[in-house]
Structure 1
Amino acid sequence: MSAGSEIEQVTVSMGGFEVNAYVVHAPEGDIIVDAGAEPERILAAVRNPVAAILITHGHADHISALDEVRAATDAPVHMHPLDAEPAGVKDYEPFQDGQDLVIAGETIHVLHTPGHCPGSVTLVIGEDQIVGDLVLPGSVGRTDLDGASWEDLEVSLRKVMPLWTERTHLFCGHGPVLHAFREMKENPYLPPVLPDSGATKREL
């Protein structure tokens, strides 16, 4: 993460169901990630002009406030086409797996991480990751929904986990910010692998 950047969690409620939005306070502006509900609360966390709105996946609890937030900020929306199309999101910039976006002075590495839904992405910012519903506290995203796949989810987890370090935090769609290595030790749904070694999570 660039010097001076900060990821702020904004927990909003959609029909009594809590979901996290995030505002990345980057060196040259703000970046909103996911806009699920209560647009006024998300916008209240903004400190500087919004350079972009990024969507981790297209489920309603992550995009229901998108139109209001976009109208208020006039910021471009970035989203994976496999979720944007069925979700009815128009006029967006398509994410591509492995791309580096430089927005407001911050570099964001995009990884396509399907499993919870076909167009899920993980946003890598420095050593931290905004994971949407890929990883949840002590769990992972549901795979009993249309377009979901446990096999794809496991492949996606093995894609992001080698990037985890002792300093990595996971900013997920629901619940508190997670410490990646703690999840690796305690989350029974994660594959038993340790970044850059042959150790398993049980050996930590």
Structure 2
Amino acid sequence: MEILGFAAGPYKTNCYVIVGDGEVAVIDPGMHAHDDLVEYITNNKLKLDKIVLTHGHIDHTRDAGTLARRFNAPVYLHPDDVFFLEAYKGSGTQTAMLFDADNMVSPESTEDLLGGGTITLAGEEFTLHHAPGHSPGCVVLVGEEYCFSGDVLFKGSIGRTDFEFSDEEAMNRSLRTVILELDDSLQILPGHGPTTTMRAERMSNPFLRALRPN
């Protein structure tokens, strides 16, 4: 398995490409990710097996529908965040205008990405953990070596909870019951910013340290 990543769109959202055995899975194809992904998948003669959305915010989902239709690939998203795929259209908000939401192509359908289940990406199995707070349907994907943390955990920080539909209490619960339970050896691949490790975050992330028992 090989993992590639690049930042896409106005918020520099990390898009990840997981490759193995002639297949590829894409996590969080943000705005302007489509063309680069099509070129990579086509040039390398790969099959796009899955598109996984760690949550429903438009900076993570903007190009998912176009990519899914191009390759006839399923899109996975927690059901609590499916409403976001249409919520920005016609809203007139600054975010909607920045991401040209009115011209966003939504996926024709979505598969449920549920906590407690598993998903196979390029031949490797990942366990799914529902971790609401930043949004109602945030999901963290945990494999043997890597954790795709979306906007739940960043290097030195966590996802914001001052957005509409965010919930600070739920975020703190998710940090305690999901994030702080992760193995220290895991490489953390977040939705924004640089990669990190769970060991480093447990030791130095001020948001996690505040939740640790004395």
Question: Does the alignment reach a TM-score above 0.5?
Answer: yes
User: Residue 37 of structure 1 aligns to a residue in which SS?
Assistant: coil
Q: From 114, 117, 131, give the equivalent of 1:96.
A: 114
Sequence identity, in percent? 30
Alignment correspondent of 2:126: 108
Higher alpha-carbon deviation: 114-123 or 126-135: 126-135
Paired letter, 2:124 = E
Q: Which secondary structure does the structure 2 equivalent of 1:69 belong to?
A: helix
Structure 1's 101 and 62: CA in aligned 2 closer, same or farther, altered over 3 A?
same
The one-letter code of the counterpart of 2:15 is A
Shift of 1:143: 0.3
CA displacement at 1:68 relative to structure 2: 1.8
2:170 counterpart residue number: 152
Moved over 6 A (4+): none
C-alpha spacing 1:193/1:148, structure 2 compared with 1 (3 Å): closer
Q: Does residue 1:18 correspond to 2:12, yes or no?
A: yes
**More helix per residue:** 2
TM-score scaled by length of structure 1: 0.84
Structure-1 residue corresponding to 2:206: 188
Output the CA distance in 2 between the equivalents of 1:87 and 1:70: 14
Please state if 1:43 is matched with 2:43. Answer: no
Give the 3-state SS of the residue equivalent to 1:164 in structure 2.
coil
| 8 A Cα contact 1:10 1:41, kept in partner | no
Tell me how far apart the structure 1 counterparts of residues 114 and 175 of structure 2 sit (CA, whole Å).
Answer: 18
State the secondary structure of the residue aligned to 1:189.
helix
How far apart are the structure 1 equivalents of 2:120 and 2:153? Answer: 25
How far did 1:69 drift? 1.2
* Correspondence list, 1:116-155, <5 A: 116-155=134-173
Distance 1:188 1:7 in 2: 28
Query: Following the alignment from structure 1 to structure 2, what is the Cα–Cα distance between the partners of residues 116 and 193?
Result: 17
Q: Do 1:29 and 1:104's aligned partners in 2 also have CA atoms closer than 8 Å?
A: yes
Q: RMSD value over aligned CA atoms?
A: 2.0
- Please identify, of 171-180 and 20-29, the stretch whose mean Cα deviation from structure 2 is larger: 20-29
Gaps of 5+ in 2: 87-105
Is the CA contact 1:21–1:42 (under 8 Å) kept in the aligned structure 2?
no
Q: TM-score, normalised by structure 2?
A: 0.81
